[in-house]
Chains A and B, each alone.
Chain A
């Protein structure tokens, strides 16, 4: 009997202790930080957003750093760190004033010196930045809050470029980091953006953690795209790297993550049919294929051979292979993307028309082609580049007169090999496939792969002075109407010269748990994590 009561007492005591612990745990539970779990398209491996042009570095940058201007959801530039600015009558001198309350994560104020050093560093790495710096006479800090940007010519894109999104966003760093050689990585990550980077929790290849920067002063305007007030409504954001698309999709369905940046197109019907999940895409959130031709070596050093390809390549075939869902497809013949201000298919008749192998063969003959092997760098490990290559190879074989030398390799090898200028037989190449975003393509200035600056051009090294002249003219155009007019001229010239062949345009939606989070901002690329509220 004694033993029984002893046991009962002991159990009672245990229950009381457990209850106390449980009650004690309640306030702890109530104070649990609100954590947003996000799976981005890649893992944050590099912390310096200028050192590499990879989009994921830009996503990390957008969390930690702030920008002078930002693009809203209509891709129009709006001030962000800048409060007011003036432009001289000759459109050559811009005077900017920073807004009040800007602070770095270490508590120091953001000054014009930080801005000047940051822009100089960024301007050495980014394509558009380099062009802007080419027209820059001086960039100086007038006082702590004012800086002056003087141009050699009335270059009309200064604000647009400062508000650019996608890759190589012009972030503002501390002067200390901004003075680091742009070809070397910075050591410390101290920005003035709405989130702070948690270095002690960073596991490259697995997880990157950010916490809310309590001292961030958002703008008063409502958030729109990357513009407006960056009001942070969660305590932590965790980027979880899920390299397997199936696992990423399952993690979203099971509610283990709140936001998935790039759901695989094959899984979209499942996600769309799952209650509590929303799938949506910004109008300009698209990818375009690039079939790059090497202009240095036969046969594509001859314009006739490049033009001949337009009679062989059938644009819609790529879409059906890469993004079978019709809702995601746009059969686009515009070098500058479809659904954007500069959309034009001027000069695309040979490409749009029915495929004509006889015409193509005649043009190849005129170019002096005599059955030499055409070396194709086929990346077999890439989500859409591999199927696009398979379609292209089939189309070229179907033409019946081309001899192909298809070399299968991983994307890393293509990236290395495409930089080689040697002849294909000496380790060079004739064709490789890649892609770009609609956002990047939408401006002839940021659209690096359309440039025809010979030695300075992108891989393939297209060379056409007239096109480059038109490109420059576009950058100086004073109005959107004039730019559209010039875009037509650029398109016609591009279809004559064929720097590359643009194929397909497909939308890349994001998916998120609409039953758990709200306030997701619509952007074409580099998704922001502010404004998102977690229930």
Chain B
């Protein structure tokens, strides 16, 4: 297993190099110019050229790439063109809200979706199954922003139970953080609930039709035990895969939820940087996201052997 993990970690190096090259080229080939954004609407072309020169954007692309790679090797993700702050500082400012939102969403989704999926599979083709699947379809169909606005209207404006927007850091107390994250976690969690519930149901239905389940029933094992110990554990591999992919997606940015609830997360940082062509931020974030995805995939792969002892690396 250790050898496998080391092998997989080493394999990330070429992946990251390709990502770095791809991101750099893609950004510099895309139309857009941070100098023009900085200069503003009233600037003359000569002023824009002046700013471009100061930012080093008038140098040949290969030279800019070499500078970029050398900085990366020193662990320096660069400095934001606009705020003049190191990209690492900006990322650290945004990490907590993003991680808290991602984990809260997954907790909400898993807590609701897995029981729903198990129940739907157990009572397949019953009214309960249809209700669960109906909810699933709704979860997929309703855009996150709409769910977000509805939740804000009901719980923040009408009932005044929770805040409309903003994130309270953990340093202000867990309850304050929880209050600020409940609505976004539920709004965003709807889609993941729908996804995980469907996968759980499908996976459980497959397992429940296996011979060993029939044998367990025949031996008189309690229904609860059959469902949770025999079936759910064996159905877990695809469910864990979906949860893992969900976590990777959530950390790398849920822009709409962050925008609607004004959560200062990594997603908004990315989109704002793209709109303003703040190249160092975009490059730094994509490298980080790529690294995070590789690591999460590795963790998912390792977890398979826990749920299915037949899987060995």
Contact = CB atoms under 8 A, between A and B. Distances in A.
A317 B233 CA distance: 64
Interface in B252-275: 259-262, 264, 268-269, 272, 274-275
B49 to A, nearest CB: 9
B264 A207 contact: yes
Interface string A178-218: 00010111010000000000000001111100000000000
A53 interface: yes
Nearest to A182: B50
B41 A256 contact: no
Contacts of B269: 205
B33 A416 contact: yes
Contacts of A185: 84
Given A411-B275, A419-B48, A205 B165 contact: no
B294 interface: no
Contact of A254 (B43, B51, B84, B157): B157
Contact of A54 (B40, B261, B262): B40
Nearest to A37: B166
Contact of B42 (A168, A240, A416, A419): A168
B215 interface: no
Contact of B38 (A51, A242, A456): A51
A52 B54 contact: no
SS class, residues of chain A in contact with chain B: loop
B42 A250 contact: no
Contacts of B204: none
A71 interface: no
B164 A206 contact: no
Interface of A: 43, 45-47, 51-54, 125, 127, 167-168, 181, 183-185, 187, 203-207, 240-244, 246-247, 250-251, 253-254, 256, 381, 409-413, 415-419, 421, 434, 436, 440, 448-449, 456-459
Among B31, B51, B264, B272: residue with most chain A CB under 10 A: B31
A254 B163 contact: yes
Interface in B46-77: 46-48, 50-51, 53-54
Given A413-B32, A419-B45, A456-B44, A204 B80 contact: yes
Nearest to B36: A415
Given A45-B83, A412-B277, A415-B33, A247 B42 contact: no
Nearest to B160: A254
A416 B47 contact: no
12 contacts: A52-B40, A125-B47, A167-B42, A207-B264, A256-B163, A381-B275, A409-B31, A411-B275, A416-B31, A417-B31, A457-B44, A458-B42
B149 interface: yes
Contacts of A415: 32-33, 36-37
Contacts of A51: 38
A437 to B, nearest CB: 10
A121 to B, nearest CB: 14
A411 B41 CA distance: 12
B276 interface: yes
Contacts of B83: 45-47, 204
Contacts of A53: 39-43
Given A168-B42, A250-B156, A412 B37 contact: yes
Nearest to A410: B275
A250 B39 contact: no
Given A183-B54, A205-B272, A458-B42, A247 B165 contact: yes
A64 B53 CA distance: 29
Given A52-B38, A416-B32, A240 B84 contact: no
B36 A419 contact: yes
Among A205, A246, A410, A436: residue with most chain B CB under 10 A: A205
Q: Across chains A and B, which 4 residue pairs bring their CB atoms closest together, nearest first? A: A53-B40, A206-B264, A416-B33, A204-B83
B42 A46 contact: no
Given A205-B268, A411-B275, A251 B32 contact: no
Contacts of A52: 38-40, 82
Given A183-B54, A410-B275, A412-B32, A45 B264 contact: no
B85 interface: yes
Contact of A250 (B93, B164, B277): B164
